[in-house]
Structure 1
Amino acid sequence: MANQGITRRRLLQVSASGIVTTTVLGGGLLAPGTAQAKPYNSPFTWISPRGTIEVMDDYPYWVARERGYFGDLGVETAMEPGPSDGTAVVKFLSVGQADIGFPSPGVLSFAANAGMDLVSVFGSGCLDLFNIAFRKGQGVKDLKDLEGKTILLGSAAWQSICDPMFAAVGVNPRLITYVEAGWPTWTTALASGQGDACLAWEGLRADLGAKGLDFDYWLGMRGSPLPSNSLVVRRADLDDPERLDFLKKYLKGWAMGSEFADRNPRAAADIVFKALPTTKANYGPRAGTESLMQIHRTFKGNMASRKGWGEHEIPAWDNFFAILKAIGQSSIDIDAARYVTNDFIEEANDFDKAKVHADADGYALPEDLAAIDMADVEANFYKNVLN
């Protein structure tokens, strides 16, 4: 694995019962029911909700790590791909096998329903990053036109993403037929004529286009009022002064990495490519840059109305949790104020922006990235977008 931030490799597993076990290569397997928190001097581990880190999505981390924005935290931070089961991220957090995760709001609601005492501390996903993709010429601007239609998913678990998104824009989710078309083949299944549409997301949109899958899109960041993935920790860690101090420095690194990417997305893409060479091979310079920019715009939102990188829009989270209860996806009323906090945002954004801008402006781009026509990228950013 081309991940310079991982000092040890682990095989992460989630059993059918939801019990987390961990194999440390060279060590032993924790028996089900005996999961233990990592030793405090272990790396502070971020865990992916998608089963891979070979994507552009996590650029704030890679930028912060490469540019030294984590300060004296250094190599004590690490990233793990985790299992592809989307709920694994909160399960690992809850038993101490990871320290910070990136679940969707729906998965955080799953944790709340399961009694896991977790809290979102950095609202990375200001806007809804999920999209609906259609074969060319067959898309709709109003998702109510999808009632009675078939939506292809890579995993049946993705219905928990689609249902609240549909409900939020006035669509009855019970009138949607979902078909599990498999990962990673659900998009090619749509292209081959199966189903009426499929779930997609920003970042993936650029990747699919580079692979010749030319779809039309309804964009969540333009049409959905919902938030998306955020950085989540155990509430108990906020009561540990040493752990809390570490977390504050860590979140500042994410904010600085976001500011750098906003100033120079091609430089941020190059930093990701250096850390993850396979990612560069998979995307290529232009699609990789476009993918990063698509994700970044959902992370950024309208900064004129935000207090800084990572601020949660609490009313949007309240609305999201209310929708989940209304459609039966949550069995409890979830108070956003308990599971979402902006207490760390002011300090995370208290950094020297002029220095970050100078870092970004002075970054020496390699020839392939320097050759990208950014005016053309901007002109085609919303190509094939219906709403």
Structure 2
Amino acid sequence: MKKSAMKMKKTFHAFEIVSLLLFAGYLVVPATPLLAQERGQPVPASGAKPLTRVRFALANPIINPGLSFVWIGSHFGWYQREGIDLEIIRTQGPADATQRVAAGQVEFGLPPPAFYVASVASGQDLGLVSVYLLRRQQQYSFAVLQDSPIKALKDLKGKKIGVSSLGDEGVTYVKATRRELKLVDSELQMVPVGAAGAATSSLQTGVVDVLALPGVQYALVEGLGVKLRHLPQPAFAERVFGNEIVTRRDYVAKSPEVVKGLLKGFAMGSAFFVANPKAAIEISFKMFPETVPKGMSLEEAVAGQVAALPPNIATLRFDNKPCKKWGCNSEEDWKAYIEYLGLDLSKTGDVKRFFTNEFIDYANSFDQKAIQDLARNFVLK
């Protein structure tokens, strides 16, 4: 027993930094022209747009290198050229991120839209709109320990499912699975277990039988050498998208230039990330050196992250989608998403109220080949 406990302690020693970050409030991405210049990166030319402070809420409580496409635009000065001074805000999950945007505490958030769509269905419009679809496919999955007897979705009956929190999109994913399997609530119980390392500890100690987490959190765990086995996806999964960039409708009306600039910097970061995820991870660790797990070298941390990234990258691709642009939404996808939520379209109304593609052409108005070439030839100095 002592040996097992010591092994677990060693495994999750690397997550100590994550635990510390949970209580820090937020981290600011260096985004001023001076800091960019100190890093030897491009900065706004003389006479460029004045910088506007933009607070961007993640849908999780950690600075995860697997999300580096969000902030690497600051490293290259792409946001700054658009007049954006980007500040990254960590939250306790999608519900928290949604609430902060709705309350005007941040200008943008990156949650799945389940929470504000459900509010509309219940008669409360939070005044939010999606301006950019990040994940063309949802990123949640069920995972178990390698030696678990659970092999298929049907084996989930009567099991305890670990979700990050009861305000996480994982709850929606589990509920949709429960409907697909025709189970009642008591036959698929959800337990909040926290993020990444804490969640996996709950799995290893038997607090839960299965995890339902997003790919970016599994990447943190698997990047440290913890071996998990993923169950087959439910039938609905391939038809459902994931996180969106959301903001308030009144903010769109008041600050369209800021929206355009934010989305362009974000799309450029995404193009770089997909072309060379290793370079993006290296940049992220340089920007946030405190996120390199304790006991690991930088090279080990990068290698671990990169090895676990393919499922994350797959959700960003749109090769098989009708719209071949970064960020675009479609009416058909939204109808499928509302069905996934188990909501009645007659209560949510016209799905076009939930999104706009108004800024997508501008977001894609950069030389994508040049970004890809930059990424593929990039060497961090």
TM-score (norm 1): 0.74
- Is residue 89 of structure 1 aligned with residue 106 of structure 2? no
| Residues 348-383 of structure 1: per-residue CA shift (max 9 Å, x gap) | 1121112212321331147xxxxxxxxxxxxxxxxx
Tell me what 1:231 maps to: 245
Question: d(CA) in 2 for partners of 1:191 and 1:211?
Answer: 15
| Residues 87-118 of structure 1: per-residue CA shift (max 9 Å, x gap) | 22222212221100011222232443432010
Query: What is the letter of the counterpart of residue 252 of structure 2?
Result: L
**Partner SS, residue 216 of structure 1:** strand
Query: What is the letter of the counterpart of residue 299 of structure 1?
Result: L
Tell me what 1:259 maps to: 271
* Contact 1:167–1:323 under 8 Å retained in 2: no
Residue in structure 2 matching 1:320, options 337, 344, 349: 337
Extract unaligned runs of 5+ from structure 2. 1-25, 33-49
Question: d(CA) in 2 for partners of 1:43 and 1:196?
Answer: 44
Q: How does 1:188-199 map to 2 (within 5 A)?
A: 188-199=201-212
- Is residue 211 of structure 1 aligned with residue 228 of structure 2? no
Residue in structure 1 matching 2:365, options 344, 350, 361: 350
Change (3 A) 1:2 1:51: closer
Change (3 A) 1:364 1:287: same
- Is residue 364 of structure 1 aligned with residue 379 of structure 2? yes
Tell me what 1:340 maps to: 355
Tell me what 2:132 maps to: 122
Change (3 A) 1:218 1:336: farther
RMSD: 3.1
Q: CA deviation at 1:213?
A: 2.6
Query: What is the letter of the counterpart of residue 116 of structure 1?
Result: L
Tell me what 2:59 maps to: 49
Change (3 A) 1:238 1:155: closer
Tell me what 1:373 maps to: none
Change (3 A) 1:55 1:319: same
* Contact 1:150–1:179 under 8 Å retained in 2: yes
* Contact 2:153–2:234 under 8 Å retained in 1: no
Query: What is the letter of the counterpart of residue 314 of structure 2?
Result: R
Query: What is the letter of the counterpart of residue 308 of structure 1?
Result: K
Query: What is the letter of the counterpart of residue 353 of structure 2?
Result: R
Structure 1 stretch displaced more, 151-160 or 351-360:
151-160
Tell me what 1:65 maps to: 74
Question: d(CA) in 2 for partners of 1:276 and 1:179?
Answer: 31
* Contact 2:116–2:126 under 8 Å retained in 1: no
Tell me what 1:160 maps to: 171
Q: What's the % identity of the aligned pairs? A: 22
Paired residue total:
328
| Residues 51-103 of structure 1: per-residue CA shift (max 9 Å, x gap) | 23x21243223221212222523552221113x15322222212221100011
Q: CA deviation at 1:347?
A: 2.4
TM-score (norm 2): 0.75
| Residues 119-144 of structure 1: per-residue CA shift (max 9 Å, x gap) | 01111011111110112143656423
| Residues 180-216 of structure 1: per-residue CA shift (max 9 Å, x gap) | 3455523212122343311122122232223343110
Tell me what 1:16 maps to: none
Query: What is the letter of the counterpart of residue 284 of structure 2?
Result: V
**Partner SS, residue 299 of structure 1:** coil
Change (3 A) 1:302 1:173: farther
Structure 1 stretch displaced more, 58-67 or 266-275:
58-67
